[in-house]
Amino acid sequence: MKYYAKTYYENGKKKAETIQEHTEELIDALRELKSIYSNEISEIYTKNDIWKDLEIACIFHDLGKASISFQNNIRSFLKLSKLDSQTGNISEIPHNYLSPAFLEGLSGLTKGQKLRILFAIAFHHDRSFDFNEDELIKNIENNISNIDNEILEWIKEYYYDYNYSSINANYYHRLKTYLDENNNKINEIKYSNDFVILKGLLHRLDYSASAHVPIETERLGDTTKPLINYLFRKHKSNSLKEFQKKGEYYRNKSVIATASTGIGKTEFAVNWLGDNKSFYTLPLRVSSNAMHKRLSDIFGIEKVGLLHSDSFSYEIENNKEQSVETNINKINITRQLSFPLTVTTADQLFTSVFKWPGYERIYATLAYSKIILDEPQGYSPKTLAMIIKSLEEINQLGGSFCYMSATNHPFIIEKMKNIAYILPYEFNQKKKHKIELVPGIVNELIERIINAYKDSNNKILVIVNTVKKSQEIYSILSEELNNVKLLHSGFIKSDRNLKEDDIKIDFKKTVPVVWVTTQLVEASLDIDYDILFTEKASIDSLVQRMGRVYRASYKEIRKDNSPNIIISCGDPSDNYYIYDKIIVDRTVEKLKEFHIKILTDKSKQDLMNSVYNEKEIKETGFYKEFNYAYSLLELGYKADNKKEAQRMFREISQVNGIPTPIYDKNQIRIDELIKVIKNTKTKLSDRLMANHELNQFTLSIPIWKKGGSSELIKSKDITKSIFLIPSNYNSYIGMDIKGMENIF
């Protein structure tokens, strides 16, 4: 008889895969992994032979599926006759807890080796542990002990002296100790480098075999030559800058780089990667999308994956010449972490610091990889603490990182100085920004904005701290000026995509324009405007806002020029909810020295060092939040599951919503899409395309703003519910949030 491992649909027909077939796919993936990254992985596994231990874990991980109860479940699905069962009223036990019974017949394992493999197998799924030892014994005796010789002979093909007669349930107490977080001896095993790597790679092999995608595609190849070729195509330059060349010199180290906008941080970091498996992380999806395009231009689309919560939509929109099935396959490969270079948002990797069940898959991969962490100032202090703790743990496992920004927090550099080499600062010597501090709130700058628009063909940015304030300023300016546009997070996806494209084009035109935005544009969009009017914020945020002005290498400001950075110093629209009041006040106080003066890039980092002086900010909310989050992780704080970890990482729960005017206008089409998504008999590609189209009508709002809204979709087949938002909406101003609580 056949022992089945899993079932699936193919062209509308029920299919099944045997335990042997599935397991041999794992072995093939194991050989593939070894052929590509053998040296790197072997170096980080200190006990025995990682490839031998992994092979054992692969061979035995699903043998518990030979259980009669499990087989009968599958046979019922396939409409095959059921096997005789002696279990009676015994509760069925998940197969991952039965599989270790087979390990007893394998000889030659050391005690520690056997325990690591046993734990990796038993907990390669996160299943309820709600049975006692007697139930385990009876399940093994009645559900497994009478299997036929076919599967036993197959095991002996790998281990000729395998002794099936010795299998038993004597490992029950070990399973119990694994789940005991107070057992220090077991915790030493669970959180040891070797176990994390063994269990994590087993997860990856299992997932890639189940998804029928490669565990790894290919190596990246040396990065220097493709970089030079790219620079020549784009800028007619046939060499790297001196700073960019240093990346190759520091390839064997983790590094912290502080360098001005325009110096070439990205090229430095990419050159630092060498031929290693790599991840490039950014705070926002839109900046990840832009970086994916850039790196694909350097290395080729076949070597670069994109991983974030909306990457399927990106692939569909940017690879229209490819079939939906091809894009689905690429997304599946990316989700299995199989590309040599993956661009991703940080939440996809660093939630692993919460040690949710299965987190080892991420850590084991990062242990033989390099990580670029770009724009870290874009994270809140809590999130930053999670990232720093992750980097420390990944570094201990064997991975390395490049942490880089135009403005690095000095106390972060101090915290990581023992695990990373701190590069000398690299500053752009060209003078880009002359600042002016203006008393009063941002509304009092309206007349100056209008005059700047009328005086010449100025491309003007107005950046405020909240959506509500951006809508207010936009409405006032629109009454006076012809070409005023608005961008914030309160637009549905289709409108926001168009606006993000427009803001990247408008600064290149010959007509004046004003873009009113929120901090959404700080680090996410490659734009180059002439003048910035902004609300006050923390120094790192202000420096990022300044970076949207005078970016081009040929632009430089003179002493006799008017200021091109105008900062309102009255109370900001967020009422210090987003930016810590003490940090903001310190920022304004330190900036006074540069009023009506040129602010060099060196001065910007000096201001960072001064504003965020560790001794002077210990009582700030920013510093306390960072330390509190970091301390919790030091004490071993964990999440019960990945979803909870992502919620904690992002710090704010959000829901997808459709404003009622959008729903009313598109109700027929939206309802059609919902039906397609919910219909499990519809082809996966069609359901995904329907979901992609449906998302174009949505926006994300903080969960506390959902009050009063009615639920539109709630289905196990849709990952997120979509709510109706009782708010006015138009494509010019976005969602009208008057009367809605807090900020948005």
**Going by C-beta distance under 8 Å and a sequence separation of 6 or more, which residues neighbour residue 45?**
53, 193, 194, 197, 198
pLDDT the model gives residue 48? 78
Eight-state DSSP code of residue 666? T
- Render pLDDT for 24-83 as a digit per residue (tens, 0 to 9): 999 999 999 999 999 999 999 987 799 999 999 999 999 999 988 898 889 988 888 888
Task: Spell 533-566 as b/e; 16+ CB within 10 A means b.
Answer: bbbbbbbbbbbbbbbbbbbeeeeebeeeeebbbb
Domain boundaries, the chain: 4-211, 224-422, 433-599, 652-735
The token pair at 660 is 């009622």
Q: Is the pLDDT of residue 496 over 80?
A: yes
pLDDT the model gives residue 664? 92
Q: What is the mean pLDDT of residues 444-450?
A: 96
The token pair at 679 is 């219909």
- Render pLDDT for 226-273 as a digit per residue (tens, 0 to 9): 999 988 888 788 889 899 999 999 999 999 999 987 788 999 999 999
The distance in angstroms from the start CA to the end CA of the chain is 61
Which has the higher per-residue pLDDT, 189 or 90? 189
User: For residues 719 and 195, what is the distance between their CA atoms, to the nearest angstrom?
Assistant: 32
Contact between 265 and 428 (Cβ < 8 Å): no
Q: Considering only 304-318, 439-453, 461-475, which range has the smallest mean pLDDT?
A: 304-318
pLDDT the model gives residue 685? 83
Locate the DSSP E strands across 264-340.
Answer: 277-282, 304-307
Q: Is the pLDDT of residue 521 over 90?
A: no
Q: Cα separations (Å) of 219 from 272, 274, 276, 504, 507? A: 15, 10, 7, 33, 39
Contact between 269 and 360 (Cβ < 8 Å): no
- Render pLDDT for 111-122 as a digit per residue (tens, 0 to 9): 999 999 999 999
Task: Spell 467-487 as b/e; 16+ CB within 10 A means b.
Answer: bbbbbbbbebbbeebeebbbb
**Going by C-beta distance under 8 Å and a sequence separation of 6 or more, which residues neighbour residue 603?**
594
- Render pLDDT for 361-377 as a digit per residue (tens, 0 to 9): 999 999 999 999 998 98
CATH number listed for the domain at residues 4-211: 1.10.3210.30
Q: Considering only 23-37, 103-117, 552-566, 643-657, which range has the smallest mean pLDDT?
A: 643-657
The three-class DSSP label of residue 714 is coil
Q: Which pTM was predicted?
A: 0.91
Using pLDDT thresholds of 50, 70 and 90, give the confidence band for residue 651.
low
pLDDT the model gives residue 709? 45
- Ordered DSSP codes for 278-292: EEEEESSHHHHHHHH
The token pair at 16 is 């099944």
The partner residues of 280 in beta bridges, in order of sequence, read 343, 372
The token pair at 97 is 């807890």
The token pair at 607 is 């201001």
Amino acid at residue number 519: Q
For residue 609, report the phi and psi dihedrals to the nearest 5 degrees. -65, -35
Eight-state DSSP code of residue 620? S
pLDDT the model gives residue 24? 96
- Render pLDDT for 668-725 as a digit per residue (tens, 0 to 9): 999 899 888 888 778 888 888 898 899 899 988 765 444 444 455 443 333 456 778 8
Question: What mean pLDDT value characterizes the chain?
Answer: 89
Query: Residue 404, Cβ neighbours under 10 Å: how many?
Result: 23
- Reduced to 3 DSSP states, what percent helix, strand and coil does the chain have, rounded to the nearest 5? 50, 15, 35
pLDDT the model gives residue 457? 85
pLDDT the model gives residue 721? 67
**Going by C-beta distance under 8 Å and a sequence separation of 6 or more, which residues neighbour residue 80?**
none
Q: Is the pLDDT of residue 649 over 80?
A: no
- Render pLDDT for 147-202 as a digit per residue (tens, 0 to 9): 767 788 889 999 988 888 777 889 999 999 999 988 999 999 999 999 999 999 99
- Render pLDDT for 382-391 as a digit per residue (tens, 0 to 9): 999 999 999 9
Q: Cα separations (Å) of 653 from 313, 353, 643, 706? A: 22, 19, 11, 11
The partner residues of 370 in beta bridges, in order of sequence, read 278, 400
Which has the higher per-residue pLDDT, 1 or 83? 83
Eight-state DSSP code of residue 510? S
pLDDT the model gives residue 287? 86
Query: Residue 719, Cβ neighbours under 10 Å: how many?
Result: 10
Contact between 173 and 117 (Cβ < 8 Å): no
pLDDT the model gives residue 296? 93
User: For residues 5 and 64, what is the distance between their CA atoms, to the nearest angstrom?
Assistant: 10
pLDDT the model gives residue 707? 46
- Render pLDDT for 299-324 as a digit per residue (tens, 0 to 9): 999 999 999 988 888 888 877 777 88
Using pLDDT thresholds of 50, 70 and 90, give the confidence band for residue 605.
very high
Eight-state DSSP code of residue 169? S
Query: Residue 112, Cβ neighbours under 10 Å: how many?
Result: 14
Query: Residue 406, Cβ neighbours under 10 Å: how many?
Result: 27
User: What is the CB-side half-sphere exposure of residue 550 using CA atoms within 13 A?
Assistant: 23
User: For residues 666 and 686, what is the distance between their CA atoms, to the nearest angstrom?
Assistant: 19
Percent of the residues in the chain that have a pLDDT greater than 70, as a whole number: 93
4-211 and 224-422, same CATH topology: no
Q: What is the mean pLDDT of residues 425-436?
A: 93
The token pair at 60 is 């035995």
Does the domain at residues 224-422 carry the CATH identifier 3.40.50.300?
Answer: yes
Look at the domain 433-599 and name its fold. Answer: Rossmann fold (3.40.50)
Q: Is the pLDDT of residue 744 over 70?
A: no
User: For residues 371 and 361, what is the distance between their CA atoms, to the nearest angstrom?
Assistant: 16
- Ordered DSSP codes for 671-700: HHHHHHHH-TTS-HHHHHHHHHHHHTT-EE
Q: Cα separations (Å) of 617 from 387, 479, 623? A: 21, 43, 6
Contact between 248 and 273 (Cβ < 8 Å): no
pLDDT the model gives residue 654? 63
Q: Cα separations (Å) of 200 from 123, 196, 255, 273, 419? A: 11, 6, 26, 23, 23
Q: Is the pLDDT of residue 392 over 90?
A: yes
> What angle in degrees, to the nearest 10, is found between the helix axes of 50-60 and 149-158?
170
Instruction: Give the largest Cα separation in the chain, rounded.
Output: 92
